[in-house]
Structure 1
Amino acid sequence: MTAGRGHVRARWMHRADGRDWRPWRRWEKQRLLMLLLGGLVGMEFLENGMFVFGSSHILGGIGAAPREFAQVQAAYAVGSMLMIALQQWLSRHFGYRNYLLLALLLFGLGDVASASANSLAQITTARLVQGMGGGAFFISTRVLIPMMFGVQQRPQATRVYMLMIFAVGAIAPLGAAWLVDNWGWRWVFWSVLPLSTLMALGVYGLLPAALGKSERPVRWSITPLLLFVLAIGCVQWSFSEARYALFDRPEHLALLVLAGVLLLGLFGLHQWRHDEPLLHLRDLTSPGFLAGLALYAVYYFVVNFSNYLFPQYAERGLGIPLLTTGWLNSFSALTSLVVAVVYIRYSAAIANKRALMMAGCLTMAAAAWWMSRLPPDAPAAALYGALAIKGCFGVLMVLPVAALTWRALDARHFAKGYQSKNILRQMTASLASAMAAVALQDSKFAQYSDLASRITPGNSTAQQWLDTTASTLQHHGMVAQQARHAALEMLAQMVDHQAFFMACQQLYQWLAVVAAVTAALVVVQRKLR
């Protein structure tokens, strides 16, 4: 296998007549390849980051409620996990160039369909197709780094790759805010199309056609694939339906979750026993690797929960304009980029990576607690401190986890491990988004009911406010009955806003607890060190 990869690397560095490229030409092509691989994964992170940030405006534009976000995210996750599961089979059968070109085509078609959607069903289907394309980018690009670069070039290729991801995180919120504010929500999707076209040209021009192809026949069966689709479909459907079924039909939700878990178990058992599985589970039993996957899952949960919550909290809770909210989110991501640069420069000198992971979790706990203590009239400037602290979390948590996780796994199984890790990433991200949407709606309902129960004829403060407001409205030309009705509507809006604000703060308190507990788990675990 290693000799084959070396042969591929040698082949793409030669001219058609067999002579070597000049050294500067070879270095130029290597740099282009680094940018291409970083650009592919960056494009998916950019599109997803903009979609999550602008989700309430996108769904509002097609007449769907914000809580429908869970369904749309579930569709993307199902499509993405399907493509990840097929990654090794497709790449070995068609080669990485054709595999990525197919993925880019699906991603672009999903982008066009999302931008043209006018209903929940349409955008859900579009995101399913787009997920099938996007699922190929993260896993394939990361696996291609050791395949296409020699030992000396890999560290730089990996640095470019990681910095591209963090840089995109700084662009996505502000880009989404600017596009929605100036051009409308559909441009969140249209704006990515030129980039996907550029990536397709790069893939076609820079990747060898035979890269990744297997010389022996590739075995494949439809049975495990159907089992996998049914399993993840049930699990993701339960995420999106939780908002409706949790209290109204809890037994239906429980059966759906149970069916998904059983199907996943059957799929895992089938893959464990199969000689040529879609997921190579038998090779991924290292305790250190499994501990790393668990910490990856917590990280993705916290990040995606927070990514959904912050725009809601800032724009609807604190009343901060959309564009300013985008600037604030990008400021936090820019902090992550700066910390990533410093980490890459000095991390080799820090032997205790667990201390960095614990520090990252504590920064997230501190940032979430800070958010939960802000007053409802807090200005945008009051958020900068919390966002700067939050920006340290991603780097201090996930980069040490990544270093230790892949060190615990045999290098021969890197591609197999990355495949499983990315399936976990999609499932956890979808779960976090669904739980954030469900928890925010339920918490708001509970807070609203509590506040509304206090507004009774016996509440002198509320009655005085109604009388004063109605009197003021009468002075502006309203008749008494109309003024009283308008005052009641204003009070209902105030209660609704306050309930939403309190619900966001409650979720931030929960998030702080989760981050603090994760810090404790990092300290006590002994498998990843």
Structure 2
Amino acid sequence: MKAPRWHHFLHREKQLLLMWLLGALVGMEFLENGMFVFASSHILGGIGVAPREFAQVQAAYAIGSMLMIAMQQWLSRHFGYRHYLLLALLLYALGDLASANAANLAELTTARLMQGLGGGAFFISTRVLIPMLFSPAQRPRAVRVYMLSIFSVGAIGPLLSAWLVDGWGWRWVFWVVLPPAALIALAVRWLLPRHLGRSSTPVRWSLAPVLLFVLAIGCVQWSFSEARYELFDHPERLALVILTGVLLLGLFGMHQWKHDEPLLHLRDLTHPGFLVGIALYALYYFIVNFSNYLFPQFAEQGLHIPLVTTGWLNSFAALISLAVAVLYIRYAGQVANKRALMMAGCIAMAGASFWLSSIPPDAPASALYGALVIKGFFGVLMVLPVAALTFRALDARHFAKGYQSKNIMRQMMASFSSAVAAVALQDNRFMEYNDLAARVTPSDPAAVSWLHAMQVHFEQLGYTVSQAQGAALAELGATLQQQALFMACQHLYQVLGAVAALAAVVVVSQRHLR
């Protein structure tokens, strides 16, 4: 009797370790991406490029990730999940190492492309592995561990990123991920069954759809990152790339629809409930990624809040989300109308955005807490009901196929929304600066008085008259830049609030997810 009990204990402990391994895999990618977005201005500044190039770097990661997601079923069936994930972890670590050592935009873009190739495997594979590794009785616990891992790293990421950048430099945003990646690789090698997911029949490889997919998403992602600049400089080139991307996506879709072993199983994903769920997912990812890019710029550069304090504020909002997630997991089953929860989440985000858009320029960090508390409800109340209801529309045998398509959309929207946020912030900042600068003229008594006071201040510090004049003008320019960024951020928060309100209307009007 002792041996079976001992084996049962070991099996139970191994199952628990597997749950946490899946959570760690997906959590590592969420953690690193969250740190990268939070520290993006410092990372790009560290290699001497403009903020607009963030869109290009994000597009590179998205292309690599989407390619790996598209090939996930082929690769996992050929190699098995253990070797597939070990290969992905190797690519991810190499890309992370290259990112830490990048010295220019081309090197960082290439490194993030490689990192995306590895990272694309984690989210989809770990979620698909839950029904493969655990019995129906164990799956609810595995899903809870999985969701809590995602929300927990969301609370850790901003603060850790701020602390690393402030104390050690931006390269440590990448260095810090390497030890966990090595530990996770050892756990994958030890815990995952050798042939899990491996097909007994040969996998039919076809290069044509892969190349078609890469070309299509490459054109789409280039359009996302360069549209604003190409629109005025080379509109005909932008139109050609957009047309080419749409055409290639159409050809790829037709090919996949007819193919016996496609990369994406589009024919099995036509249920209206699933399609509506994917549309709501897209709205969620646009809003959350736009907000994640905007807030650090607003707090640190717009309000002059110290970097580490900005990290604390961001992590505070994520801790609220984690607390709401715990409550949701415990009590969501008692709420029959999930659409009301989704609508409440969107309204919370709209309220938080409009709150942040009305904060005065001299507001202390404490003035942000109320908006951040409200914002913390959005992620949980919006995405968890959508996640539960979207895949309910599919048969269990189509779950992996649906999750694959959902994750491709996630990466595309993450890249698109980050690109829109980066470009819109720079454009609005430029326009606000020009408007402010036009008001500062010799005929403006307030500007003249301010400059005179600053000049006197610098003269008292020992500057000569000419040096004091130059220093006062430089101080004025810096003040105008800071004020322009603050006003641009507030304008974009108004836009974000309007988008969140629109999302609430979409949730109310749809009839397929309830």
TM-score normalised by structure 2 residue count = 0.98
Selected match of 2:284 from 299, 309, 315: 299
Please tell me whether residue 463 in structure 1 is matched to residue 463 in structure 2: no
Which residue is 2:298 aligned to? 313
Give 1:20 shift. 9.4
Look up the match of 2:340. 355
Q: Distance in 2 between matches of 1:227 and 1:144?
A: 28
Can you list the C-alpha shifts for 1:210-254, whole angstroms capped at 9, x where unaligned? 111111221121001000000111111122223432332233223
- Alignment of structure 1 residues 22-421 onto 2, 5 Å: 22-421=7-406
Aligned-pair distance for 1:490? 1.6
The CA distance in 2 between the partners of 1:490 and 1:92, in whole Å, is: 62
Which 10-residue stretch deviates more, 256-265 or 394-403?
256-265
Letter in 2 for 1:376: P
Deviations for 1:267-302, whole angstroms, at most 9, x for unmatched residues?
A: 111101111100000000000000000000000010
1:450-500 CA-partner distances (Å, limit 9, x unpaired):
111112222222122223322333344333333223222221111111111
Aligned partners of 2:51 and 2:426 also within 8 Å: no
1:65, distance to aligned residue in structure 2 (A): 1.7
Q: Structure 2 CA distance, aligned partners of 1:295 and 1:437?
A: 23
CA distance in 1 between partners of 2:417 and 2:217 (Å): 15
More displaced stretch, 81-90 vs 485-494: 485-494
Query: In 2, are the aligned partners of 1:92 and 1:218 still within 8 Å (CA)?
Result: yes
Shift of the 21–75 alpha-carbon distance from structure 1 to 2, 3 Å rule, reads: farther
Q: Distance in 2 between matches of 1:186 and 1:489?
A: 30
More displaced, 450-459 or 221-230? 450-459
Instruction: Specify every segment of 5 or more residues in structure 2 that has no aligned partner in the other structure, as ranges.
Output: none
Given candidates 473, 487, 500, the residue that maps to 1:502 is 487
2:243 and 2:306 map into 1 onto residues whose CA distance is: 43
For residues 320 and 35 of structure 2, what CA distance do their matches in structure 1 show?
18
Which stretch of structure 1 is more off in the superposition, 457-466 or 229-238?
457-466
User: Out of 401, 419, 434, which is 2:419 matched to?
Assistant: 434
Supply the distance in 2 between the matched residues of 1:462 and 1:188 (Cα, whole angstroms). Answer: 41
TM-fit CA distance, 1:68: 1.1
60-69 vs 83-92, which moves further:
60-69
Which of 440, 463, 471 is the aligned partner of 1:486? Answer: 471
1:9 maps to what in 2? none
Letter paired with 2:307: L
Structure 2: which amino acid aligns with 1:96? Y
1:463 and 1:246 mapped to 2: Cα distance? Answer: 39
State the alpha-carbon separation in 2 of the partners of residues 192 and 472 from structure 1: 47
In structure 2, distance between residues paired with 1:528 and 1:75: 33
- Helix, strand or coil at the partner of 1:22: helix
Distance 1:301 1:21 in 2: 49
SS at match of 1:184: coil
Q: Match of 1:458, SS?
A: coil
Residue from 425, 428, 439 that aligns with 2:410:
425
Deviation at 1:208, TM superposition (A): 1.0
Rounded to whole Å, the distance in 2 between the matches of 1:126 and 1:20 is 49
Deviations 1:507-526 (A, max 9, x none): 00000000001001100111
CA distance in 2, matches of 1:61, 1:46: 21
Instruction: Write the distance in 2 (CA, Å) between the matches of 1:483 and 1:451.
Output: 22
Counterpart in the other structure of 1:11: none
**What residue identity is the alignment partner of 2:59?**
A
Unaligned runs of 5+ in 1: 1-14
For residues 29 and 333 of structure 1, the distance between their equivalents in structure 2, rounded to whole angstroms, comes to: 30
User: Which SS does the other structure have where 1:481 is aligned?
Assistant: helix
Amino acid at match of 1:38: G
Aligned residue identity for 2:64: G
Residues 289 and 414 of structure 2 are in contact (CA less than 8 Å); yes or no, is this contact kept in structure 1? yes
Corresponding residue SS for 2:27? helix
Counterpart contact for 2:99–2:108, Cα < 8 Å: yes
* Counterpart-to-counterpart distance in 1, 2:339 and 2:152: 25
Structure-1 separation of matches of 2:487 and 2:403: 39
Residue pair 2:154, 2:318 contacting (<8 A) in 1 also: yes
Partners of 2:500 and 2:118 lie apart in 1 by: 32
Q: Does 1:454 align with 2:454?
A: no
CA distance in 1, matches of 2:31, 2:362: 31
Determine the C-alpha separation between the residues in 2 that align with 1:282 and 1:79.
25
Deviation at 1:354, TM superposition (A): 0.2
User: CA 1:21–1:476 in structure 2 vs 1: closer, same or farther (change >3 Å)?
Assistant: closer
- SS of 1:512's partner is helix
Tell me the distance in 1 between the aligned counterparts of 2:481 and 2:323.
Answer: 39
Q: Using the alignment, how far apart are the partners of 1:472 and 1:228 within structure 2?
A: 61
- 1:396-422 Cα offsets, whole Å, 9 max, x none, are 000000011011111110000000000
> For 1:269 and 1:387, how far apart are their aligned partners in 2?
44
Instruction: For 1:174 and 1:476, locate their aligned partners in 2 and report how far apart those are by CA, in whole Å.
Output: 37
Give the fraction of aligned pairs with identical amino acids, expressed as a percent: 72
Residue 61 (structure 1) shift: 1.1
